[in-house]
Amino acid sequence: LSNSSDLFAVLKARHSCRNFDSRPIRPEILRKLIYAAHRASTAGNVPYRFIIVVNDPIKLKMLRLVSPGYSGDSSAAIVVCTNLRVEREITKVDTDRCSAYDAGAAAENVVLAAYAMGLGALFIKSYSETAVKKLLDLPEECRTDLIIPLGYPARDESTPVRARTGGKITYLNKYGAQWKNSENVAVTPGKVETAEESTLKDGIFTLALFLVTSARGCVKEPHVYGPVRLLDAVCRLADLYSKIDAPVADDFLVAAKQKIMENDNKSMVSEDDFVKFIDDLVIQFTDELIRRHGK
């Protein structure tokens, strides 16, 4: 990115705008807001998030009337929603509220994009879920996460009024250790080689730790993360050879690691391609097994 100062100008300008004038939002501006929403990350790349753009004045008014926290006549609104059935079907498990975080990420993208284009916006959560679902014809299997009213600010709010100051709590490295802006913290570039990983024994311990924490993750995370973690463990196993004093590198394992790393995004893009990749890998391992048995 050539100019990060633009982003920081937008971050500075952003506030909750609750007073809009009646200027409509042009379609090309709406399209950019939609783009911003969909550019936000989603946990596991699971497609359960969707948005509804509301620009019908009557519908907007009705939305406002069922939302005690919705002040100001906005020209449009974007409602960020989650399809709970898709969430359940793909992840198979309770994803620890990830879909709600995903909605927040999309909503923040919309708000920042809005401010970048001279609009005002805010998050609204004080509304009747039942009423909003009915107004938007949302099926039972869907949930609304946030409403974002959008419009041109009715007045210059370059110095936004904030109900409360504070809330800027930052600690350094552990809870309670206050971050001071005067802090001169060096950021260590790249990979840090720590003492625990320098010997074979420590490398094996680190791998065991990875497996134990992954095992816990597999209980709650999307099921596809299980094979991802196991393949990651194969790569880590291959790396352990570098820790043996007299290297007896296993070329097959090193090559397998290379293939796994080259294909590591498949699990997030297409489950079918990912399964095919694992099947191919299993065949290569089986061929190697046969070769090693001299058959």
Residue choice 47, 57, 69, 217 for contact with ligand FMN (CB under 6 A): 69
Minimum Å gap between C-beta 76 and ligand FMN is 17
Report the residue number, 112 or 254, with the smaller CB distance to ligand FMN: 112
| 224 three-class SS | coil
Beta-carbon contacts of 111 under 8 Å, excluding residues fewer than 6 positions away, are: 14, 121, 122, 123, 148
Q: Which of residues 130-169 bind ligand FMN (CB under 6 A)?
A: 160, 162-163
Minimum Å gap between C-beta 52 and ligand FMN is 17
Report the residue number, 85 or 162, with the smaller CB distance to ligand FMN: 162
Kindly state the tokens that stand for 184: 């001169």
Stretch that binds ligand FMN, among 11-19, 44-52, 237-245, 251-259 (CB under 6 A): 11-19
Residue number of the CB atom closest to ligand FMN: 69
Minimum Å gap between C-beta 157 and ligand FMN is 9
Side chain identity, residue 224: V
Q: Does 40 bind ligand FMN (CB under 6 A)?
A: no
Beta-carbon contacts of 133 under 8 Å, excluding residues fewer than 6 positions away, are: 142, 144
Minimum Å gap between C-beta 171 and ligand FMN is 21
Report the residue number, 116 or 233, with the smaller CB distance to ligand FMN: 116
Give which of 95, 86, 68 is closest to 143, Cα–Cα.
Answer: 86
Per-residue buried b or exposed e for 37-46, using 16+ beta carbons within 10 Å of the residue's own CB: beebebbbeb
Minimum Å gap between C-beta 11 and ligand FMN is 11
Report the residue number, 160 or 217, with the smaller CB distance to ligand FMN: 160
Per-residue buried b or exposed e for 225-237, using 16+ beta carbons within 10 Å of the residue's own CB: bebbbebbebbbb
Minimum Å gap between C-beta 151 and ligand FMN is 14
Give which of 67, 158, 52 is closest to 115, Cα–Cα.
Answer: 158
The DSSP secondary-structure symbol of 197 reads: G
User: CA–CA separation, 102 vs 98, rounded Å?
Assistant: 6
Q: Which of residues 71-130 bind ligand FMN (CB under 6 A)?
A: 71, 122-126
Q: Which residues bind ligand FMN (CB under 6 A)?
A: 15-16, 18, 69, 71, 122-126, 160, 162-163
